[in-house]
Amino acid sequence: MDFRATLQMLVIPMSFAVANGCAAGKGSTDPAVALSNYAHALRDGRIDDAYAMLSDEARRDLSRAAFAKLASQMPEEVADLAKSLQRPPTSTTVTAKVTNTKGETLLLVFEKGAWHIDSSAVDLYSQETPRRAAESFLRALERKRYDVLLKFVPDTIRTGLDAARLKEQWEQGPDHPSVARLQVNLKQALLTEKIEETGESAALPYEGGTLLFKREHGVWRIENF
C-alpha cells in the first residue's frame, strides 16, 4: 500500500464551525476557533461534521468515503492530532499560518468570508515540500513508524532495507543514541531554522548537522538518511 496515497486524507482541511454551535460548513472568522472546532469533530468521531469543514479544494481532492476510511485506519494519529489542535496555537501570522505545539505548520485559507484549513493539512506524512517532508519525517520518527520512514529513503540506498531492519538499527543498534538526539534537534530546527532550497535539493541545518533533501519521483526524500 502506498502510504502517501493512503495518508492523503488525514489531517483534514475544513471550514470550521461545529464545536461552537455554528452550522457545519459555514466556517469561522477566527483561525483559532476553526482549529478548535476541527479538533472537537476529530475527537468526537463526527466524520460528517469534520468532512463538512473541509475547504473546497480539500473536498475536491478527497471523497467523504476515503476521509472516513483513513480516519478509521489511523485512530492513534487522529486522536493525537485532535489533542494537539485543542491546545492554543503558539503563533498565528497575518497569512494565517498556525504553528502547533510540535512546531508543525498548518495553513488556513480565508474564502467565502470564513477561515478554512488548507489542503496542506490533509497529509500527515506529506513529502510535497522540504519543510513538510521534514515535519513528516520527524512525526514518523517519533511514532516509530518505520514503514512510513522507508518512504523517505532514496532509491540508491533502499535495496535490502525494510521496516524491520530499520527498526533494529535505530532502536537496538549503535545508531540509537544519535537517532534520539536527531529527534530533539530536528524539532528545534523546525521552529527556528530556515530550509534552504535550490532546484531539486534542499537543506535544513540543525544542531550537530544538516538534513539534506533531494527531490525524487516527485516527492522530497532524505538524501543523508
With a cut of 50, say whether residue 107 has pLDDT above it: yes
| Distance between CA atoms of residues 3 and 138, nearest Å | 16
Mean pLDDT of 105-123: 68
Q: CA angle 31-37-42, nearest 5°?
A: 125
Could you tell me which of 223, 176, 178, 177 has the C-alpha nearest to residue 201? 223
With a cut of 70, say whether residue 204 has pLDDT above it: yes
* pLDDT tens digits, one per residue of 30-85: 766 777 787 788 788 888 888 788 777 778 878 888 888 877 877 787 777 777 76
Rounded to 10 deg, the angle between the 176-192 and 163-171 helix axes is 90
pLDDT > 90: what percent of the chain? Answer: 30
pTM comes to: 0.54
Task: Map out the domains of the chain with their CATH numbers.
Answer: 3-121 (no CATH), 130-222 (3.10.450)
Could you tell me which of 85, 38, 47, 92 has the C-alpha nearest to residue 65? 47
| Distance between CA atoms of residues 3 and 127, nearest Å | 11
Q: What is the mean pLDDT of the chain?
A: 77
The answer to whether 190 and 134 have CB atoms below 8 angstroms apart is yes
> Which pLDDT belongs to residue 71?
78
